[in-house]
Structure 1
């Protein structure tokens, strides 16, 4: 088995590191640590402190899981329902009244009225039709025709995600602002900001400290978040500021900053024998496959493998598409990976800066790999994440956990 720690140390060491810093943690259902390693620095400054499990990272799309949990807390309480379109019509009228694109790329833009209802279940599984404007040329043309720049990651809500749908609800899969909409739904139903709701209903429940939230100044203090970086042409690391603009909106699809140790506290609860955030029945719902075989959303998801492999390649890169589905909290692996062993039932997703989380309630293991390296799927990061995942499964197996 390759030594994950040694590889990370090599990648983050020296005058010209390949990656700025990495922190990785994994636990089992009994609360035991399977792996803990941190290597590298928190910024490009010569005197930057070392990265650690308490360093605050830019979560980007790893935020989505937390918004799913917030939504399911309200479902569990009976305040929201997964399949009640009236909730969307009442609380998200901006989304409810959007049209659906009918033109193909390169054609004059054409839209039609939405014919099918939108539900929270579709938002949590990216099957509502909503997509990020930067991911579809037709949405970019739509923005341009309105004299607007791309706003997916640099605009306030709801305007940043208020674009025509790519398909009728429930008839496809498209990665986009669905969890931002779900976060807005949580806010409007609860009367709290998403950050305040998550603090009360998720973070405090599992004992997270102040190093998680949407207000970067409060979360990271003077030290700030781990600097987000990318590779320059000569292989050196350069600054990659994120987000592109300082936003007031609490974006449920990608706005949280969080330390690795806080994120793992949440993941640990998802696999715990006696969970606190969600009941066992609701957790079973969280991890259940949502798309039936032969359905349009499942076919579209599997056709979008470049999207999900850039986020979860360490877990899904060697799997057949037949083993891919979607849960209410992320991508779902439904068959064992021969390279890992018992991995069916693993739910996972990632973030733009090569962060990766996974949780398998049946196997009782969960882990988080955190870094600040853009773009997602960057080669060296993907290699390290793959080594991390394999070592976690190996350690779990050696301890008789699998």
Structure 2
């Protein structure tokens, strides 16, 4: 893997110099970073906490077990839970969930804009909602904010009643943006998958995670309910924010609510890097605890999107300049598995076969089941998609690939 996007550290000393410069107290990339990487045998490839717990001038040094809102990093754990249910025959990836476990989708509707007084139209969806479509963001379930069709619909039907606010089944009880399976949009599909896991097992998503992920892996510092864990609140990282001049300033308030009403399988967990890396480390083992090896390789990390509208939408939204220059959607070199984005072709910073995703405050992770390596880049910087953190995380991932000998 040579040259390319984001530059590449040629040696450990060069990377360490880049990292030291990036995490000085006066640096403007992030208040602090926790960087962890392991191989399939549990050997640590990299383990470093650098920088500070907040952007305040007297902030203490960040620690590797400091607590962060991991946001959409939650999605991987929810996907693992759902695939455990598939392994056990509790649900099929392609069954019509509206006719079984999620009756909310018995008669799904698709919203479109029109010239009527309401400004939108609803029509019956042509295809059913399935677990595969929920996990790959091809169900049509979007995040409500930022879409003109859903804004028009919400203006007409009114806000969510106060007694239902904060509950996932009401938050994402919204029209679809397209017929299931015929597009790709990032949204609340995995929150619905979390609801499904709870219903299949007569428990909550959090209860299922506690029993089947947290306890088996020894994850004692991960929760949906931060306000019930004062021991974790004491270790909370205070986020930084990209200021108007491009510098890093303190983020005022909380990046996410501490008082959760419900368990968001799409983004509700609080955790620390030393807990989260345990999940990544398990998934790259020859004999994982959480899932069967075959499930990891052929479901979690296997491309699910065929050439068509879904892959076009993913490539346009997530492929950046690579996708813009691609003659065909598949030329962008990315696809989507049941656990995150799949790097189909080797890029400038990740080898083909990598499964990766991240969380809103610029957290990022990857696993490569075949090479047996996993890494996490953990920070708390707003807003999402910060260019400086993207560049640094790519350099870090390149360094991990180099350290692994691949």
Could you state the TM-score of these two structures normalised by the residue count of structure 2? 0.87
Partners of 2:27 and 2:83 in 1: CA distance: 44
Checking the alignment, whether the CA contact within 8 Å between 1:134 and 1:150 is kept in structure 2 is no
Aligned pair 1:26/2:34, yes or no?
Answer: no
How much has 1:65 moved relative to structure 2?
A: 0.5
Closer, same or farther: CA 333–58 of 1 in aligned 2, 3 Å: same
TM-aligned CA deviation for residue 88 of structure 1: 3.8
Match of 2:64 among 45, 48, 53: 53
Return the alpha-carbon distance in structure 2 between the equivalents of residues 5 and 203 of structure 1: 32
Question: 286, 300, 304: which one pairs with 1:286?
Answer: 300
Provide the C-alpha distance between the structure 1 equivalents of 2:404 and 2:368, rounded to a whole number of angstroms: 12
CA contact (8 A) 1:309 1:377 kept: no
Alignment coverage as a number of residue pairs: 383
Rounded Cα–Cα distance in structure 2 between residues aligned with 1:304 and 1:370: 23
Where in structure 1 are there 5+ consecutive unaligned residues?
A: 314-318
Give the one of 268, 276, 282 matched to 1:269: 282
Give, in whole Å, the separation in 2 of the partners of 1:229 and 1:95: 39
**Offset at residue 132 of structure 1 (A):** 0.3
SS of structure 2 residue aligned to 1:26: strand
Matched, 1:325 2:335: yes
Task: Find runs of 4+ consecutive structure 1 residues off by over 6 angstroms.
Answer: 104-107
- Give the aligned partner of residue 243 of structure 2: 232
- By how many angstroms is 1:97 displaced? 3.4
Q: Does 1:188 align with 2:199?
A: yes
**Alpha-carbon distance between aligned partners in 2 of 1:5 and 1:192, rounded to the nearest angstrom:** 46
> 2:317: which partner in 1?
304
Offset of 1:14 from its aligned partner? 2.7
What's the CA shift string for 1:167-212, capped at 9, x where partnerless?
Answer: 011111111001111001111111111111111111222222x211
SS in 2 for 1:129: coil
Quote the Cα distance in structure 1 between the aligned partners of 2:126 and 2:102. Answer: 17
| Structure 2 contact 226–259 (Cα < 8 Å) conserved | no
Task: Tell me which moved more, 265-274 or 229-238.
Answer: 229-238
Whole-Å separation in 2 of the counterparts to 1:132 and 1:112: 19
Q: So what's the TM-score if we normalise by structure 1?
A: 0.88
Aligned counterpart in structure 2 of residue 212 of structure 1, from 222, 227, 234: 222
**1:209-233 residue CA offsets vs partner (Å, 9 max, x unmatched):** x211101134553414211231222
1:70/1:167 CA distance change after superposition, 3 Å? same
Query: What is the match of residue 92 of structure 1?
Result: 102
Structure 1 window deviating more from structure 2 (347-356 vs 198-207): it is 198-207
- Choose the corresponding residue for 1:10, options 5, 21, 41: 21
Q: Which sections of structure 2, spanning at least 5 residues, go unmatched?
A: 1-7, 324-328
More displaced 10-residue stretch of structure 1: 359-368 or 321-330:
321-330
- For 1:35, what is the secondary structure of its paired residue? strand
RMSD (Å) for aligned C-alpha atoms? 2.6
Query: The residue matched to 1:282 in structure 2 has which SS?
Result: helix
Q: Secondary structure at the match of 2:263?
A: coil
- Report the counterpart of residue 125 of structure 2 in structure 1: 114
Report how far residue 83 of structure 1 moved: 0.8
Matching residue of 1:102: 112
Shift of 1:90: 3.0
Measure how far apart 1:101 and its partner are.
Answer: 1.1
- The secondary structure found in structure 1 opposite 2:35 is strand
Tell me, yes or no, if structure 1 residue 135 matches structure 2 residue 146: yes
Tell me how far 1:296 sits from its aligned partner.
2.5
Q: Secondary structure at the match of 2:168?
A: coil
